[in-house]
Amino acid sequence: MAISLYDISVANYLQTLDAVTGFLAKGEQFARDNNELDLAKIVDTRLRPDMLPFRFQLISVYHHSLGAINGIKDGLFGPPPAMPDLDYAGLQKLVGDAAIELRAMAREDVDGLEGRAIKFKAGKFEIPFTAEHFVLSFSLPNFYFHATTAYDMLRIAGVPLGKMDFLGNMRVAS
């Protein structure tokens, strides 16, 4: 069986976006049940002073999923656009909106983008890709990095998360 652009992109994005939605909900529940987690503070939390905050991690999850597919359509992808200072609920909505929009995409429309040229551009710096290589070597690694970092920030804050919370609903043989 051949694997398609939809399979390597949208299917993977949705699995992890759903998992992120789940662990964000667990974080919200943990904050309600315990006075030790302030969601207003978590959005500004950083693992290290030189790393970007929780808020940016989730904006990047959005950007490297839905934004990646839109970038392939447009032929151009860059760093995440400036966004308002979203609160925890706003970040949850952003992640949920990405999943909703990706679910609305037809498999044949995404697969129709196979082989398309896309350029990553940041200032004068450019990297040319094909759609498949962009997803496999740039988008997915960034997507997983930022999802993992957000997971780790909640875990360090005491939210009781485990590996299954990150893996989400795997696509298993039926």
Concatenated DSSP letters of 40-64: HHHTT--SSTTSPPHHHHHHHHHHT
Residue 1 reports pLDDT greater than 70? no
The residue whose two tokens read 């979203």 is 86
Residue 36 reports pLDDT greater than 80? no
The pLDDT score that the predictor gives to residue 6 is 97
For 17-30, write each residue's pLDDT tens digit. 999 999 999 999 99
Residue 46, amino acid: R
Query: Within a 10 A sphere around the Cβ of 132, how many other Cβ atoms?
Result: 19
Query: Within a 10 A sphere around the Cβ of 159, how many other Cβ atoms?
Result: 21
CATH 1.20.1250.20 assigned to 5-167:
no
**Residue ranges per domain, the chain?**
5-167
Mean pLDDT of the chain: 95
